[in-house]
Amino acid sequence: MSDLKAEFRRQMEALYARNLTVDDVFAEDAEILLPGRAPIRGWEAIGDFVRQFLVAFPDYTLSIQSLIAEGDTVALEFSSAGTHTGPLRLPGGEVPATGKRFSHAGVVVATRDASGKLRSYHEYFDRLEFMAQLGLMPAPVRASG
């Protein structure tokens, strides 16, 4: 495994296990892009986002299925899950805990700077499925095949 892949895996697993802080992983001017949200920029905003997410889903887990790295960019396929037991801040306002569990898959494309910290982190997942699993909207209709 390349150094970039190994370091990225270590950073993500440690961050979500609460063994690293945002400034250990992200560059000071880093940007996170997530479905349905405005960009999250800088240590303060990223730290606030990560903290509130882990309050909403204290049992959150992230499993990395595959990693691809080239230059300073890494792409990963992941699965994650958690139980919504705390307030969740969404662009439309705060949602009280539903007690429901989510489980989904997604992809991240991230780029690091010369110091090895992440400068950009773009995550892609099915936001409608996530919201439906939490009971915040009807389940999407799946086409039969």
Instruction: Report if residue 65 sits inside a domain.
Output: yes
Instruction: Report if residue 73 sits inside a domain.
Output: yes
Across the chain, what does the average pLDDT equal?
Answer: 90
| CA distances for 4 relative to 14, 37, 45, 62, angstroms | 15, 27, 25, 18
Instruction: Report if residue 24 sits inside a domain.
Output: yes
Instruction: Report if residue 111 sits inside a domain.
Output: yes
First to last CA, the chain: 38
Tokens matching residue 88: 């969740």
Element (H, E) at 49: helix 42-56
Within 10 A of 67 (CB to CB), how many other CB atoms are there?
19
What is the pLDDT, as a whole number, of residue 14? 79
Instruction: Report if residue 145 sits inside a domain.
Output: no
pTM of the model: 0.86
pLDDT tens digits, 62-83: 899 999 999 999 999 999 999 9
122: containing domain: 3-133
CATH number at residue 60: 3.10.450.50
Map residue 73 onto helix, strand or coil.
strand
| pLDDT of 16 over the 80 cut | no
47: exposed, middle or buried (Cβ count in 10 Å: 0-12, 13-18, 19+):
middle
| pLDDT of 8 over the 60 cut | yes
Instruction: Report if residue 38 sits inside a domain.
Output: yes
The number of domains in the chain is 1
What is the pLDDT, as a whole number, of residue 46? 93
Looking at the DSSP assignment, which residues form a beta bridge with residue 76? 67, 108
Instruction: Report if residue 142 sits inside a domain.
Output: no
Instruction: Report if residue 17 sits inside a domain.
Output: yes
